[in-house]
Chain A
Amino acid sequence: MIRDITIGQYYPAQSRIHRLDPRVKIICTLLFLVSLFIQNSLLGYLVATLFLGCVIKFSKVPVKYIVKGLKPVVILLLFTVVMNLFLTRGGSTLVHFGIFTITESGLRTSVFMAVRLIYLVMGSSIMTFTTSPNGLTDGLEKLLYPLNKINVPVHEVAMMMSIALRFIPILLEETDKIMKAQMARGADFESGNIIQRAKAMVPILVPLFVSAFRRANDLAMAMEARCYHGGEGRTKMKPLKYKPGDFRAYIITMLYLVIIFMVGRFVPFRLWIF
């Protein structure tokens, strides 16, 4: 069970979105995030909803999965909504009792803000759901490659990321083993307050670190034995290459960006306060 964990929660499927070049997905996700912030109108959000809906449909990732991805941000979401709701002033007052006042623009901002945050998380999780971790590191390496000119070790960072991804399941399994070994000798990880529990973790962390360093040492030797000497003169087994579909994806996203920009500016469309 613990072996199946993949970081970035990749959802394997055969879809048009999965087949896109990772670079396309990274850039288009960024453009989508930008699109959420350059407009602030009901119609704009409707266009964004339509776009996001289509992408989700094409990606074949179940909506349930994507909604589940929202869980970690619920607190942040509630906090933002509440703060905006009560603290934004402007327009006529809708509700007023005691020190609490809800104004028209307060309601408007908080609702839009909530939608914006939800779409932000959904948009980026679509990217991680449809791109394998390796694809993501490859895409990032390629996109950030120009930074090499100012001495940022792009290849090394990408290599580190992919090795980390490879070792996450191994280290998790090891943690599991160490915990069981400690439990067999009477260690208690479940009772006591937070501080006591944190203290109980120390005997796990120490052997885990020692073994991680040993592994790192072995791996470095194995890599050297296989002639690894940095990114220079290295070829790729799976080089990233743009396909016609990738350009179409760029064009569609650009079109979407233009539409959402125009609609937010020039189409007067209001429903009550929104």
Chain B
Amino acid sequence: MDMIHAEELVYEYDKRDEEGNIIGTNRAIDGVDIDVTPGSFVAVLGHNGSGKSTLAKHMNAILVPTGGTMWVDGKDTRDPNELWNVRQSAGMVFQNPDNQIIGTVVEEDVGFGPENLGVPTDEIWKRVEDSLRAVGMIKYRNSSPNKLSGGQKQRVAIAGVIAMEPKCIVLDEPTAMLDPNGRREVIRAVEKLRKEKNVTVILITHYMEEVVDADQVFVMDDGHIVMHGTPREIFSRVDELKAYRMDVPQVTMLAEELRKRGLALPKGILRREELVEALCQLR
């Protein structure tokens, strides 16, 4: 069974003028099909307003589709009886680290999700400890979230989701408000989780570097999925990506330019080491 499965997904919202009269409808998502197999790492790329965040919110039933269907772990997100099960299966991490931390102490915040699920007290403590350890924040368990850096706050938010033991984590631009160090911290934490806990990860982002390790990449533009494939396939189509206003990782870009100038490099180089390797083998 697919972890996440969407068919012909459509989300429309009303466009309103200054007085609040409806003057038309906007389609944020238009006929999207997605399959995510359990345990895989899927990235969704797209520039601002491409509908990628709206898609993410469908996976947690914060938004329900106006057309088509979204199944999360076999549950239809439109079924009100399954609402809390859907949200427990697919945990969500948001963009702004400050606006998603509820507790005044790190460990209390991580315990918030399990508390809501009605997990017994002893079990909550165990889960909190496990998940803080998994993201490397156990040292800060008694700190106030206000004293943490952006990357640390985001790791706490991830721990808060992990503590609910979801099968799948949806990260909605978790690194957009962080500095490069914080970004690296968060991505590393996510990678570690994926390997150790075998959770499905869906990463919504516009930083190309973060999707290099993904199993599948979807590129969205104007509510549609316009490209789909492995990172290598996607990044070998540099010109197409540019047409969708996406940047390509620097290394890929460099390799592409060199190739255009006549060097016999393979398409879709993703990492610096690969480029070095390919360049060394040239002569």
Contacts and interface: CB of A to CB of B under 8 A. Distances in A.
A223 interface: yes
**Chain A: number of interface residues, binned into ranges:** 20 to 34
A170 interface: yes
B102 interface: yes
A134 B62 contact: no
A229 B124 CA distance: 18
B121 interface: yes
Contacts of A165: 104
Per DSSP, chain A at the interface is: helix
A71 interface: no
A169 B160 CA distance: 21
Interface in B89-125: 91-92, 94, 96, 98-105, 107-108, 111-121, 124-125
A134 B119 contact: no
Interface string A1-26: 00100000000000000000000000
Contact of A218 (B87, B100, B117): B100
Nearest to B104: A166
21 contacts: A134-B104, A165-B104, A170-B98, A218-B96, A218-B100, A222-B92, A222-B99, A222-B100, A225-B60, A225-B91, A225-B94, A226-B91, A226-B102, A226-B164, A227-B88, A229-B84, A229-B116, A237-B114, A237-B115, A237-B125, A239-B121
Q: Which of A165, A229, A236, A237 has the most CB of B within 10 A?
A: A237
Given A3-B147, A218-B96, A234 B116 contact: yes
Interface in A191-239: 215, 218-219, 221-229, 233-239
Contact of A226 (B118, B121, B161): B161
Contacts of A215: 98-99
A39 interface: no
A224 B115 contact: no
Interface in A165-179: 165-166, 169-170
A227 B87 contact: yes
Interface in A92-122: none
Interface string A137-158: 0000000000000000000000
Contacts of A234: 115-116, 118
Interface of A: 3, 133-134, 162-163, 165-166, 169-170, 215, 218-219, 221-229, 233-239
Given A218-B94, A222-B102, A169 B118 contact: no
Cβ-closest 8 pairs across A and B: A237-B111, A218-B99, A222-B100, A226-B113, A227-B116, A225-B92, A237-B124, A233-B118
A134 B109 CA distance: 12
Most chain A beta carbons < 10 A, residue from B60, B88, B92, B146: B146
A248 to B, nearest CB: 25
A72 B258 CA distance: 72
B128 interface: yes
Interface in B52-99: 60, 62, 84, 87-88, 91-92, 94, 96, 98-99
Nearest to A214: B99
Nearest to A230: B116
B56 to A, nearest CB: 10
A165 B88 CA distance: 27
Interface in B120-146: 120-121, 124-125, 128, 145-146
